[in-house]
Structure 1
Amino acid sequence: MMDAFGRFGLTINNRVVRTPLAIASMAGIVDARYVIERKDHIGVAFIGGYAVDRPTMDAAREIAHDGTRTEFLYDDPVKALSAEIALLNSTDLVTGINLRGSSPDSFARIADAFGDDVVYEIDAHCRQAPMVAAGAGEHYLNNPEELVAVVRTLKTKKVTVSVKMRVGVAADDRALARKLWKAGADILHIDLMDSGITKLRQIRNSCPLVIIANNSVTTFDRMREMLSHGADLVSLARQSDIDTLAGLDAAISRYADAEGWYNSPKQLCRGGDIRALTFCCMPVKECPLIPVLSRIGLSRDEYVRLKLDSVKGTPLDGGPNTCFASLAWCCKTSSPCMFRDMTLANEGLSKKEYMRRKRELSATIMSRVFHDVPSDESG
């Protein structure tokens, strides 16, 4: 597992994530057995969704009764979940349980039963009419104050909280992301629907939470598109067959080993998210960097000081023959630059190590940008 941490640097719920691939919940389908069959090619699994109180259990039965969808049906959610979690404890996966509940107390009872052994995923995603009418699923996206209350209640139990949501339902996805960050959520599991990467980039630029991107991830190109616009992981649902997962796992491992930063962003001037500030040059001309600095509340001078102070004493500190006399201002290795490459050769710094250092710089910048949890007034 240390190799996995060195490769991806990912931890969730205080456990190393083996690969940035997750299985998303599918009601009536994704249980421990389903996950164990695929365990060699994933890092995280969200089983469920599981109804955890009377209103949602009744809704699950109503959905199953019409014959168009399957559901997990039981009378005792704690007993049902205990059996599933016990099976998954034999794996090295990060286990999440996707829960459909109609009140904060319903989620709290499950957290009391299982403590910090699992990630608790609030299902704000299901759009089946009976479940929404029961006060779960998409009901929460239309009533964000109720979703925030569930997050806050779960966080009093000192557990890791994920929110599964689809974009385009809430009035403002960016504002909702910030509200969930303030409430204490740890993970946003986002079904991008047909919005492409635009919404993903907007949400990445709005909060520092772990982001799992979901929707039509069937090829490595699609996976990299998600990762390069803000995702930390991607998840698969209907396409989570073993062959697809194995191919994606192998491809992202090869990419990380070769490039040094598995989810490196596109450069800011090419549509990247704010992690790409690590690749930006000095703010000496009008370019996409300037309005981004304004939006995140950094003056040009503060930005310059932040980058130079952050690389002091590191291999990125040098580079007198580069455009701005420091590798701190140099671009991504996918962009040709003879001055950067000459400097790397002179310093004995591989492109992989350079990108790893750029990732560290990006993390420092992100910590500065998202240092303060948003106030009520900021949305």
Structure 2
Amino acid sequence: MMEAYDRFELLINDRVVRTPIAIASMAGIVDAAYVLERAAHVGAAFIGGYSIDGPTLDASRQMAEEGRKEFVYDDPVTALSREIDALKQSDVVTGINLRGSTPAAYAEIARAFEDRVVYEIDAHCRQQPMIEAGCGEHLLRHPGDLIAIVRALKAEGATVSVKVRAGVAENDAGLARAVWKAGADIIHVDLMDFGHNKVRQIRNASPMMLIANNSITTFEKAMDVFSHGADLVSLARKSDPWTLAGLDAAITRAAEEGGWYNAPKQICRGGDIRGLAFCCMPVKTCPLLPTLEKIGLSRNEYLKLKQEAAKGTALDDGKSTCFGSLAWCCKSSTPCMFRNMTLENKGLSAREYMRCKHHLSDRIVQRIFDAEESTDESS
């Protein structure tokens, strides 16, 4: 698994994610047996959705009577325990997609399983019985209820994912910020028809791990959302072994060749804020300036932030480059004789350079959001 970590540098719930591909929940379909059949080519899986209290179990029974596939049982803890135990034999990081009507219902499940799984709040289901029970899309239209559930799970020490459907909340980026500030660790977004622009909006709104979902079944589609901010992609109806195997092989090959599997586009080409790692000094009018204004950084603050983040790394120098440091250099896919000459003189491959840029980006983004949290706490 350390080879997988070196390749993708992904951890969920303190476990290595072997590939940035997940299986998304489908009620009545995705259980332990479903995941185990596909385990060779996924890094994480969200089983469920599982109803966990009286109102949502009643909703599941009503939906099953109407012909939908549902997991129906009398005791949620017993049913979930059986599934979680079955997945012990796999190295797939397990998440359980839950549908409850109160924060207390989620907290009770978290007390039962502690840190064995990721707890995913289903704010995604659009079936009317579930909405009437107070979960699914109800939570997107009543974000205060969603935040209360996040806080209840975090009070139990849980790793929390929030599964949402884009375009339902009043403002998806605002919702992402709110659940991040409440303590959520992951946002799992069904993009619907919004595409990578929605990914970029949410990426720029919070530092949470971001899983992109909906019809991402090819390498090209996966790379599109990766380059705009996704950390993982998830598949539901098309999570067949053949599709998963093809995606896994292609993404792994890209990571080994490029060094940063989800490297962002440069800011000047529509990239998210991770692309600040590729920006030069703010000496001319370019898309960097409105980006800095949008995130509340002055030019001097940006200069200081990037210089401090690069200090002591392989990017800290580079006298032959335009600004005297590789920290200000662009993406390896952009032709530049000065950058390439500097890399050659330092004995740094393009792949290693991109790994360094990845780490630089992580430092920059984390400091931006750490500063925002500090400002919120002091206000």
Deviation per residue, 1:314-349 (Å, 9 max, x gap): 221221111111111110011111111111111111
Q: Distance in 1 between matches of 2:298 and 2:331?
A: 23
State the shift of 1:185 in Å: 0.3
Structure 2 segments unaligned to the other structure (5+ residues): none
Report the counterpart of residue 15 of structure 1 in structure 2. 15
Report the counterpart of residue 224 of structure 1 in structure 2. 223
Report the counterpart of residue 26 of structure 1 in structure 2. 26
1:349 maps onto 2:348 in alignment: yes
1:110 maps onto 2:105 in alignment: no
State the shift of 1:373 in Å: 2.4
Q: Distance in 1 between matches of 2:125 and 2:316?
A: 49
Aligned residue identity for 1:142: R
Report the counterpart of residue 50 of structure 2 in structure 1. 50
Deviation per residue, 1:39-60 (Å, 9 max, x gap): 0000000000000011111111
Aligned residue identity for 1:107: Y
State the shift of 1:305 in Å: 1.7
Q: Distance in 1 between matches of 2:288 and 2:222?
A: 26
Q: Distance in 2 between matches of 1:375 and 1:164?
A: 28
Aligned residue identity for 1:22: A
Q: Please list every run of at least 4 consecutive aligned residues from structure 1 whose deviation after the TM superposition is greater than 6 angstroms.
A: 374-377
Q: Distance in 1 between matches of 2:253 and 2:193?
A: 29
Q: Distance in 1 between matches of 2:49 and 2:376?
A: 31
| SS at 1:48 equivalent | strand
CA contact (8 A) 1:181 1:373 kept: no
Aligned residue identity for 1:239: K
Deviation per residue, 1:180-206 (Å, 9 max, x gap): 011100000000000011111011001
Report the counterpart of residue 268 of structure 2 in structure 1. 269
Deviation per residue, 1:272-316 (Å, 9 max, x gap): 000000000110011110011112121111211222222223221
CA contact (8 A) 1:182 1:374 kept: no
Aligned residue identity for 1:85: I
| SS at 2:313 equivalent | coil
Report the counterpart of residue 80 of structure 1 in structure 2. 79
Counterparts of residues 1-379 of structure 1 (less than 5 Å): 1-67=1-67, 69-371=68-370, 372-373=372-373
Aligned residue identity for 1:48: G
Q: Distance in 2 between matches of 1:40 and 1:373?
A: 39
Cα 1:172–1:150 shift into 2, 3 Å: same
Aligned residue identity for 1:36: L
CA contact (8 A) 1:51 1:100 kept: yes
Aligned residue identity for 2:85: A
Q: TM-score, normalised by structure 1?
A: 0.98
CA RMSD after TM alignment: 1.3
| SS at 2:373 equivalent | coil
State the shift of 1:375 in Å: 7.1
| Corresponding pairs, count | 377
Deviation per residue, 1:239-298 (Å, 9 max, x gap): 100000001111111111110001000001111000000000110011110011112121
Cα 1:374–1:243 shift into 2, 3 Å: farther
| SS at 2:35 equivalent | helix
Aligned residue identity for 2:17: V
| SS at 1:307 equivalent | helix
Aligned residue identity for 1:38: R
Q: Distance in 2 between matches of 1:101 and 1:18?
A: 30
Aligned residue identity for 1:134: A
Aligned residue identity for 1:212: I
Q: Distance in 2 between matches of 1:172 and 1:220?
A: 29
| Farther off after superposition, 322-331 or 232-241 | 322-331
Q: Distance in 2 between matches of 1:112 and 1:328?
A: 46
Q: Distance in 1 between matches of 2:248 and 2:5?
A: 15
Residue identity (%) = 65
Aligned residue identity for 1:306: L
Q: Distance in 1 between matches of 2:251 and 2:358?
A: 16
Q: TM-score, normalised by structure 2?
A: 0.98
Aligned residue identity for 1:84: E
| SS at 1:235 equivalent | strand
State the shift of 1:21 in Å: 0.4
Deviation per residue, 1:24-70 (Å, 9 max, x gap): 00000000000000000000000000000111111111111111x20
Cα 1:374–1:125 shift into 2, 3 Å: farther
